[in-house]
Amino acid sequence: MKIAVDFDGTIVEHKFPAIGKPRLFAFETLRKLQEQRHQLILWTYRSGKELDEAVEFCRKHGVEFYAINKNYPEEVFEEGKVSRKIQADFYIDDRNICGLPGWGEIFHIIHPEMNPTWENPNDPLPGRKSFLKRLFGK
């Protein structure tokens, strides 16, 4: 699967333009997803020097991205001809409607078969209400 991952507030605490502390289990989860052959795309607002610093920070923590702000490494943007929207199966971002779940929960959303307490993959994670139940309180 292709998984687009935000940097600030998602992989690290939000301290832009500085780099915040790594979020709990972020790098461990990303490395595990890479081991399972998922293609990780860094999908971030950062550019220039700040982007280079974020990529190097991730590299030092053992995470190499398949692509950075692109659908694939060789993609070339022509102004006005290509959308910067990334095509992915999952988007991991702290700006989701319900916020960022913990990285352990993110892993089990992507791989429910690896959670021994989750009997039915169509049900929400144990101890967590479905999106609609959280939204409407039922």
Under the banding of pLDDT at 50, 70 and 90, the label for residue 2 is: very high
Mind giving me the DSSP string for 101-136? PPHHHHHHHH-GGG-TT---TTSPPTT---HHHHHH
Q: Mean pLDDT highest for which of 21-30, 93-102, 111-120?
A: 21-30
Helix or strand holding residue 91 (H, E) = strand 90-92
Average pLDDT over every residue of 98-116? 82
Q: Assign domain 2-136 to its CATH architecture.
A: 3-Layer(aba) Sandwich (3.40)
pLDDT at 72 over 70: yes
Q: Please check whether residue 108 is in contact with residue 115, taking contact to mean a CB–CB distance below 8 angstroms.
A: yes
Q: How far is CA 11 from the centre of its chain?
A: 7
pTM of the model: 0.78
Output 70-78 pairs: Cβ under 8 A, ≥24 positions apart: 70/41, 71/41
Under the banding of pLDDT at 50, 70 and 90, the label for residue 116 is: low
**In the prediction, which pLDDT does 110 show?**
87
Average pLDDT over every residue of 42-50? 93
Domain boundaries, the chain: 2-136
Beta partners for residue 92, in sequence order = 5
